[in-house]
Amino acid sequence: MKDLITLGEFVIKKQHERADATGDLSQIFGAIRLASKLVHREINKAGIADIVGLSGIENVQGEQQQKLDLYANEKFKAALAARGLVCGLASEEEEHFVEFTQPLSRGSKYVVLIDPVDGSSNIDVNVAVGTIFSIYKRVSPPDGPVMLEDFLQPGTEQVAAGYVIFGSSTMLVYTTGNGVNGFTFDPSIGVFYLSHENMQLPEDGRIYSVNEGNYVHFPQGVKRYIKHCQEIDPDSSRPYTSRYIGSLVADFHRNLLKGGLYFYPSYAGNPNGKLRLLYECNPIAMIAEQAGGMASDGRRRILEIPPEELHQRTPFFVGSRNMVKDVERFIAEEDR
Ligand code: AHG
Ligand code: MN
Ligand code: MN
């Protein structure tokens, strides 16, 4: 049997390969790993909570769903605060960023942005959800309070990014800007093992993932691209297959492994689409690029968009390089 490498071992090994590494990131990953295990346990209990709900407790499905978002938010926050390497956190679940004021966290170098539970409407129907995270070095003086500008950095400045997918198995996928690696959780011993080394997003894909129920509201270029996906063309293996889970993490993860395009375009009345730039699109974009894929808002590279506010939204097209280029071409044709 081949030797298995754990996530902890892998992070430390990578740290030793870099002369400038201080070990800080290893400790941040330790916090993320711990919180992920707690969320894993909670998600796997969600079904049991539903059974309890049927026996009389009011509104458990709705509450459970909301509780998990908040539970995950609290666990990630607590785990990160406890290690003293992160001075603040911004989350989908918090209107403002949170400053960690414990003496341990003062003067620490990093900030974290997080979507604690992505795809949360899928929890009560037993479908995969995820957690998305993004790590930056703070830019404000280390002896002062953490500032909004620490969080409003373009995605190109990310030091690390990743996601955890709670699917048929739980996996953690991350990058520190030197390729993408995936680790599968063995719940019987509570350890993540390296299972997907140096992940590569296929250059071409045959899967498109979009909420087609919004079709009538999409911009003309996007509508034409969807029709293009559905046309018969044996040379490019069209028509493509449509797959949409409604969890960005799960849809992206599938396309990362198989090749494909996930998109959430602008739609009527929502010129910036639905997804959030800082804690959904940027981390997924960094992983996509590090795996050889692309991420765009339809016209420009996601990672170069200057953020203006914490909960900023953006149209999002991510996945196989040639598919992102194709959809950009359809959009550009309409712009002309
Ligand atoms: P969240 O659960 O964090 O709010 O994110 C849900 C997002 C994303 O994961 C998913 O792809 C998209 O919303 C689904 O939206 P629609 O239901 O509009 O397709
Ligand atoms: Mn989300
Ligand atoms: Mn969420």
Taking CA atoms only, the protein residue closest to ligand 1 atom 7 is: 119
Task: Quote the CA–CA distance of 306 and 288 in Å, as a whole number.
Answer: 19
| pTM of the entire predicted model | 0.94
Which CATH number is 7-196's, of 3.20.20.70, 2.30.110.10, 3.30.540.10, 1.10.10.350?
3.30.540.10
Q: What is the mean pLDDT of residues 211-232?
A: 98
Question: Does position 129 have pLDDT exceeding 50, yes or no?
Answer: yes
Nearby residues of 75 by Cβ (< 8 Å), 6 or more positions away? 35, 38, 39
Q: Is the CB of 246 under 6 A from ligand 1?
A: yes
Distance 109 CA to ligand 3 centre (A): 25
Extents of the domains making up the chain: 7-196, 207-335
Laid out side by side, the sheet with 129-137 consists of: 98-99, 86-91, 110-118, 129-137, 160-166, 170-175, 180-186, 191-196
User: Strands (DSSP E) along the chain, which ranges?
Assistant: 86-91, 98-99, 110-118, 129-137, 160-166, 170-175, 180-186, 191-196, 207-209, 241-242, 261-264, 294-296, 316-319
* Residue range 278-326, pLDDT digits in tens: 999 999 999 999 999 999 999 999 999 999 999 999 999 999 999 999 9
* Residue range 222-278, pLDDT digits in tens: 999 999 999 999 999 999 999 999 999 999 999 999 999 999 999 999 999 999 999
Secondary-structure class of domain 207-335 per CATH: alpha beta
* Residue range 192-210, pLDDT digits in tens: 999 999 999 999 999 999 9
Distance 302 CA to ligand 2 centre (A): 16
CA of 72, nearest ligand number: 3
Closest CA to 7 of 197, 168, 188: 197
Distance 280 CA to ligand 3 centre (A): 9
